[in-house]
Structure 1
Amino acid sequence: MATEEIRVCGIVQGVGFRPTVYRLAKTYGLCGDVCNDGEGVLIRVSGSEEAITEFLARLQTECPPLARINQLTRTTYEGEFKFDDFVISTSVNNTIKTEITPDAAICPQCQQEIFDPFSRFYRYPFTNCTHCGPRLSIIRAIPYDRCNTSMSAFVMCSECGKEYHDVENRRFHAQPVGCHVCGPAAWLERADGKSVTASMFSMLDDVDAVCTLLQKGEIVAIKGLGGIHLACDATQETVVQKLRQRKKRYHKPFALMARNVEIIEQYCIVNAKEKELLTSSAAPIVLLQAIGKKVAPSIASGQSTLGFMLPYTPLHHLILRRMNRPIVLTSGNLADEPQCIDNDEAREKLGTIADYFLFHNREIINRVDDSVVRVVGDKVQTIRRARGYAPAAISLPSGFDNVPQILAMGSELKNTFCLLREGKAILSQHLGDLENAAAFNAYQENLNLYLNLFEHQPEIIAIDKHPEYLSSKLGKELADTNKIKIYPIQHHHAHIAACMAENGIPLDSPPILGIALDGLGYGHNGTLWGGEFLLADYRKFQRLATFKSVAMIGAKQAIYQPWRNTYAQLVAANLWDDCEQKYTDLEIFKFLKNKPLKLLNQLTEKGINSPPASSVGRLFDAVAAAIGIYRDECSYEGQAAIAMEAIVDVSSLNNDKETLIYPFSFSFLDSIYCIDPRPMWQALLNDLQQQIPQSIMAAKFHKGLANTIVGMVKHLSQENLISQVALTGGVFQNRILLEQVTKELQILGIKVLTHSLVPANDGGLSLGQAVIAAAQLIHES
């Protein structure tokens, strides 16, 4: 007989792991116990060695759907063993090392129960079990027990209690379990405060009434899993426009939800990989190619894709039961503010937007936005990492195993922060743009929560080098207060390191070539970068090449007024005089002549509010404005570039004729190669004069830029040993550019690293900051 202690680490709490252990232990006639503690799950077991080995083998193959075993260690148990059967013991509180499970979409069994008139969960909008339901959104502390969640406010009835304590039941120790008798409840309110009566609708209950309201063209605020959403019929243009005006979100695409995949397929192409994502337990918003039936035109104007998700809570399923068309389901907030999570806050902030509210009385502890993904080739590309994915830990490559605890503060936009310890990185959910005061407050609240949840005491804080980022300022304050070391990390180096880390590049690997293209990031000596070729490892980098720096006239204004970038590019290319002589009939020339060019020139010459930037993001804006796309104003960063990607002529893109490619030139200046777009602008102005269609010009630009990037890699490969290239930064969320560059580099025999687990945009930056700080610390040690 053997007596062993077995430690299991990973996502093993709140996912039905202990019942699985119990069932298998009983099957093999083992004695002992299993319990949750701060490190994960602890099993003490006695039986024959053969039985224990088979028990553990089956435990790994029959792991519950939401569980993930990262590590399983066996040691001989030396203590007093008092068990003559196998039992589930009470949770133990000690140092927190376990992981928190992301919120999970409703499982098929629970979905069946809410539509079964003979089930006690029939039409219960908060039905869940150990295989599904809320996790991060309701948790206050670890271990994940009911007393540490917002479900502590609800005392289980005898029926729920019986299932909760029945080890053979699917709801054994399902912490959010409840029913019509004892659990949370939902109700409908009118935004104008008047009473809602059953006689107003033909309805089964308040949840069912929401469907009728949506069909009638009303806007309903719906309190869901990780926040409050605003919903309306996605096929009624009048109500979609009304929602845009009231919410002050004038152009950014709206997310859509449909009852099932079959309805989505009426509006979009859905391949096998995309269907797998839609129906997964993460249930993200998936960007899909639009075809067939049309939604309201203003859902995603200027885009060729629609963002669809399936119902992921019983509440959603019950609302959409009678809905045969898509609905808008967008964050319940005023533009740029965090999503509302509290009923009173929603009444105050959304009362002028929504006509009705569907509330419930289960508190949302942690705000969790919907995740956004797309499939490029056969690989998933994460655009926003939140519900369903966060805060699942990301295992780091070899070499990072014994690093002390590190906190990385992330960026200013699309912020996430990262806790690094013991070879794992825990990224927060997407927290938004910190320049908004409410978002910055929410960022600080979430940071404190995570530090407490995981009992994380950082010995190092990593920040972005930009001195004005609020995340960097807060990082400095925390470092000063706690007297710990701070590591300022260069923005694009962090992008590349994040890509390396999620692709498993070991710490001691030789440098790779990272290509980081984005809107902008703080470079050396106060300059702004955004089109960089860096030879980098985790510790350091060398800048080998860049795009030509061009003034961002008006600084931040250049992000939202694309014409400013067009003018700056033409001046930098010494082509403005040509425009005044040869291209006076062009619309873009006439448009720019009406702007205060004399003032703009003075600002540029004197360096006032016009920092030079090597930004490829702004180059995209400049080209889009020149060919007539969102020339004057954009309401969000990248809007013009996204619209230009959407109109690309595919036949031109796939044609290898050199006449269908805009050329760029290289030069070597101050020990660095520089990509100059001047030839591209000359060719583009000629095309404008010849009235070449926008779609063909957009294709020629994409193709030319991709060829230029690949050409630079070829050139740099002759001088440096380059076998791997990492493609990162927000610009590489452009599907066409990413696919073109990847395909051509692979033809050259170069391994291409791209993002999947974390976003290529600034949402993945904190991971890069954390691993760079770790590598530098290890080197110093």
Structure 2
Amino acid sequence: MLVRREFRLRGVVQGVGFRPHVAQVAARFPITGLCGNDDREVFIEAQGKLVDVERFRTAVLEGLPPLAHVLSVTTTDLPIISETRFTIVASRRVAGERTLIPPDVATCPDCLADMASPDNRRYRYPFTTCTNCGPRLTIIADLPYDRPLTTMKKFPMCPECEAEYTNPADRRYHAQPISCPNCGPTLWIEGVDCEDPILEAQSLLSAGHILAVKGLGGFHLLCDAWNEEAVAELRRRKARPGKPFAVMTPDLSLASFTPQQVELLKSPAHPIVIAPMSATYDLAPSVAPGLSDVGIMLPYTPLHTLLVDRPLVATSGNLSGEPLCYTNEEALSRLSKFADYFLLHDRDIHVPVEDSVFLESMPVRRSRGYAPLPFPMPGSGTVLAVGGELKNTFCLAHDDVAHVSAHIGDMGSLASQKAFDRSVSQMLTMQRCTPDLVVCDLHPNYATTAWAERSGYPVFPVQHHYAHALSLLASHGRFEGPFACLTIDGTGYGTDGTVWGGEVLVLSGDLRTFDRAWHLPVFPIVGGDRAVRQPWRLALGLAHAWDLPFDYDHAESAQVKLQLSREIGLVQTSSLGRLFDAVSAMLGVCVEQTYEAQAAMELERVATGSLRSTATDWRSLLLEILDDAVPVPDRAMRFHHGCAVLLARSLRATEVPLVGVTGGCALNRLLMQFLRAELAGLEVLEHHTAPANDGGLSLGQALAGRLFEA
């Protein structure tokens, strides 16, 4: 039986080698037809025997190009026509439609082979790319994704590149960033006259210098990760005493990775993966002080592949609390007190993008390689969700998808707020839309709340943990309730004016409302943000509220106790994150934090042994861990287990079969290990694509906006 079927594929299918892929697959089957694209999707018409057409469709979808991301496929039967071959046809314009933007991805094996071959004209060329790899989001100034609308427009193609670009059989067919040494960007070390900037940079790194290196989406600060003096000096210059550094390395021997994590490291996204240090780990102590994990990434650009011949600290090129530097001028001005030398190039970055980060296999930061890959989103209307105050991303829900931005960072600085404003404008321009609604956090003092209120658009505030729960559902494509969600993090403005962070929320069948079914017993925060930096304050507040035998000697202890006794300047919290901080201080693990979640991370690190909790309530759990006769590692382990038992009991009490765990505390591997065991038998949703922390908040806000508009 002869059939003709049209397949329309919606997703990231433009500028990713999709049409050549379809044509090459078609050549393997006895079919005729055509393939093309428009401003929204790829369209395919395939004619032949039914079995061959269906096998062709399956082969197209099973062997997608590395950058392709198909969201939906629709099928329509068409009349048979007379034709003799399968062809690629010219693009069609569809007024008002916008294609989806592909993310930046790591250098593909074919391009690496080109760079390694002395006979290839791209031998050791630091900007080698093709349709299957290289810059995308970072160089796009506007859509459609064509070279004149990218930062590559100032590099006219030479005849050889032009021939590759126009040949449908070539893997560089319509590769907008295509270039070679004859026509592409230039690399240099500022103020240094040298024949080979890569070799000179390696020599400088070997000598213990710190380099600012312009990469794919912005600047890294690099130094030799084996050189304690260099790493310690970088810490001193950045005023970053404890927070661990990421390491870029050509091999994976420094950490103990599972096969799944190795696959993640080598995936087109090439994220940073945090995993336990291996037995052969030998980096400088200052790389990850006080921890047993290390964040590893493989070189992901041709430049990094050539440069990284040993483990290098590769930390973001920015001032503390500010966004990534991404222009040469900005880096030379703002990073001069950090870097001894600057390795620069003249391919401009239009959209700055930070590295993505996974904790083993859980997303911590979704950015390079993933943003702005869309999530399916029900409902209608254009919703702009502006995210939270920390780890900020924003999300634009337009048509049937939600685009989550690259990581912007903490919104406390003017520079970050300007970067946010610029990024939102870029996204709205590319999608040719304006918001019908702006969704923000319920917290009245967030910079994003202020941005929403002055935007001029209708504003819809959403409770922080409700947004977390919706983010988890949206990341799984689940849009019906009821749903019971354990929302556990450090801080979220509650509907009662207190600080939430240890809640069980039960969402209704239509997901439009929620009940706070349970929360952690409250205790006071003494001193606001100072208490977060000094967990001993939280410990004293917890001991006072829960009648625990704990004291702490500090010059300001008396003042804290006076505030507690007179109930002056206190804010009540049900935050599990703050409870972890307090327990870390009580056990003497971390009494002063220099970076977010340090106390909890160090508490998880020290937890060892097989000791389990028998506590039936939260106060008895704390009495267990205050037993000085038991070693601290055993007490830390007992605390993690006891938390999981009590949290799971509260979640099961809802009697809702679909449950989930979200919030920053869901990144605690030990806690999650115990929770999975305690929740056996229930369908449990966890975060695998959107971050559990505030980096995923905007996705949930966007869903809330769509639900509100319904």
Same fold (TM over 0.5): yes
Q: What corresponds to 1:161 in structure 2? A: 162
Q: What corresponds to 2:635 in structure 1? A: 697
CA distance in structure 2 between the partners assigned to 1:512 and 1:76 by the alignment: 39
Q: What corresponds to 2:515 in structure 1? A: 542
Q: Does 1:595 align with 2:547?
A: no
Q: What corresponds to 1:201 in structure 2? A: none
Amino acid at match of 1:751: E
* Correspondence 1:126-141 to 2 at 5 A: 126-141=127-142
- 1:288-319: per-residue Cα shift (whole Å, max 9, x none)? 11122321111111211100010111111111
CA distance in structure 1 between the partners assigned to 2:35 and 2:369 by the alignment: 27
Instruction: Answer with 28-37 or 127-136: which moved more.
Output: 28-37
Match among 513, 516, 521 for residue 492 of structure 2: 521
* Correspondence 1:148-187 to 2 at 5 A: 148-187=149-188
Q: Does 1:618 align with 2:578?
A: yes
SS of 1:524's equivalent in the other structure is coil
Aligned-residue offset at 1:23: 3.9
SS of 2:402's equivalent in the other structure is strand
Q: What corresponds to 2:73 in structure 1? A: 72
SS of 2:526's equivalent in the other structure is coil
Q: What corresponds to 1:502 in structure 2? A: 475
Q: What corresponds to 1:202 in structure 2? A: none
SS of 2:102's equivalent in the other structure is coil
SS of 1:611's equivalent in the other structure is strand
Q: What corresponds to 1:563 in structure 2? A: 536
Q: What corresponds to 1:363 in structure 2? A: 348
TM-score after normalising by structure 1: 0.86
CA contact (8 A) 2:526 2:563 kept: no
CA contact (8 A) 1:26 1:86 kept: no
Amino acid at match of 1:765: L
- 1:98-130: per-residue Cα shift (whole Å, max 9, x none)? 221111110001001111100000000010111
Q: What corresponds to 2:463 in structure 1? A: 490
- 1:734-774: per-residue Cα shift (whole Å, max 9, x none)? 1000110111111xx22211111111111111111121222
* Correspondence 1:222-233 to 2 at 5 A: 222-233=213-224
Q: Does 1:298 align with 2:318?
A: no
CA contact (8 A) 1:553 1:604 kept: no
SS of 1:444's equivalent in the other structure is helix
CA distance in structure 2 between the partners assigned to 1:662 and 1:2 by the alignment: 67
CA distance in structure 2 between the partners assigned to 1:392 and 1:319 by the alignment: 29
- 1:540-574: per-residue Cα shift (whole Å, max 9, x none)? 11111111222211111111111110111111123
Aligned-residue offset at 1:456: 3.1
Match among 590, 605, 625 for residue 630 of structure 1: 590
Match among 661, 680, 684 for residue 625 of structure 2: 684
CA gap 1:93/1:83 in 2 versus in 1, 3 angstroms: farther
CA distance in structure 1 between the partners assigned to 2:500 and 2:278 by the alignment: 38
Q: Does 1:450 align with 2:435?
A: no
Aligned-residue offset at 1:600: 5.4
Aligned-residue offset at 1:175: 0.5
Match among 245, 267, 271 for residue 258 of structure 2: 271
CA gap 1:48/1:752 in 2 versus in 1, 3 angstroms: closer
Aligned-residue offset at 1:249: 1.8
> What RMSD, in angstroms, separates the aligned Cα atoms of the two structures?
2.5
CA gap 1:429/1:604 in 2 versus in 1, 3 angstroms: farther
CA distance in structure 2 between the partners assigned to 1:206 and 1:635 by the alignment: 36
Q: What corresponds to 2:599 in structure 1? A: 640
Aligned-residue offset at 1:73: 3.1
CA contact (8 A) 2:276 2:294 kept: yes
CA distance in structure 1 between the partners assigned to 2:222 and 2:172 by the alignment: 31
CA distance in structure 1 between the partners assigned to 2:376 and 2:88 by the alignment: 32
CA gap 1:62/1:706 in 2 versus in 1, 3 angstroms: closer
Amino acid at match of 1:391: P
CA distance in structure 2 between the partners assigned to 1:541 and 1:153 by the alignment: 53
Match among 678, 688, 698 for residue 766 of structure 1: 698
Q: Does 1:467 align with 2:427?
A: no
Q: Does 1:288 align with 2:279?
A: no
CA distance in structure 2 between the partners assigned to 1:455 and 1:412 by the alignment: 27
CA gap 1:84/1:733 in 2 versus in 1, 3 angstroms: closer
Aligned-residue offset at 1:596: 4.6
In structure 2, list runs of 5 or more residues that go unmatched.
none
Q: What corresponds to 2:366 in structure 1? A: 385
Q: Does 1:429 align with 2:406?
A: yes
Q: Does 1:240 align with 2:231?
A: yes
CA contact (8 A) 1:662 1:705 kept: no
Q: Does 1:333 align with 2:299?
A: no
CA gap 1:541/1:211 in 2 versus in 1, 3 angstroms: same
Q: Does 1:512 align with 2:461?
A: no
CA gap 1:745/1:82 in 2 versus in 1, 3 angstroms: closer
CA contact (8 A) 1:281 1:388 kept: yes
- 1:232-291: per-residue Cα shift (whole Å, max 9, x none)? 11111110010011122221110101112xxx22x2112211110111101000111112
CA distance in structure 2 between the partners assigned to 1:25 and 1:275 by the alignment: 33
CA distance in structure 2 between the partners assigned to 1:753 and 1:234 by the alignment: 38
CA contact (8 A) 1:416 1:428 kept: yes
CA gap 1:599/1:53 in 2 versus in 1, 3 angstroms: closer
CA distance in structure 2 between the partners assigned to 1:612 and 1:188 by the alignment: 54
Q: Does 1:196 align with 2:197?
A: no
CA contact (8 A) 2:485 2:651 kept: no
- 1:48-92: per-residue Cα shift (whole Å, max 9, x none)? 8887666544433443222122223345779x9999983442563
CA contact (8 A) 1:4 1:77 kept: yes
CA contact (8 A) 2:469 2:662 kept: yes
Q: What corresponds to 1:258 in structure 2? A: 249
Q: Does 1:663 align with 2:664?
A: no
* Correspondence 1:566-585 to 2 at 5 A: 566-575=539-548
CA distance in structure 1 between the partners assigned to 2:502 and 2:233 by the alignment: 39
Match among 305, 308, 311 for residue 317 of structure 1: 305
Aligned-residue offset at 1:2: 7.7
CA contact (8 A) 2:125 2:181 kept: yes
Aligned-residue offset at 1:703: 1.5
CA distance in structure 2 between the partners assigned to 1:52 and 1:744 by the alignment: 48
TM-score after normalising by structure 2: 0.94
Amino acid at match of 2:685: L
Aligned-residue offset at 1:405: 2.1
Aligned-residue offset at 1:166: 1.0
CA contact (8 A) 1:466 1:472 kept: yes
In structure 1, list runs of 5 or more residues that go unmatched.
199-204, 580-587, 666-676
Aligned-residue offset at 1:641: 0.8
Instruction: Answer with 37-46 or 750-759: which moved more.
Output: 37-46
Q: What corresponds to 2:662 in structure 1? A: 728
SS of 1:552's equivalent in the other structure is strand
CA distance in structure 2 between the partners assigned to 1:754 and 1:773 by the alignment: 22
CA distance in structure 1 between the partners assigned to 2:422 and 2:48 by the alignment: 48
Q: Does 1:308 align with 2:305?
A: no
SS of 1:686's equivalent in the other structure is coil
Match among 574, 584, 605 for residue 566 of structure 2: 605
CA contact (8 A) 2:587 2:626 kept: no
Identity of aligned residues (%): 39
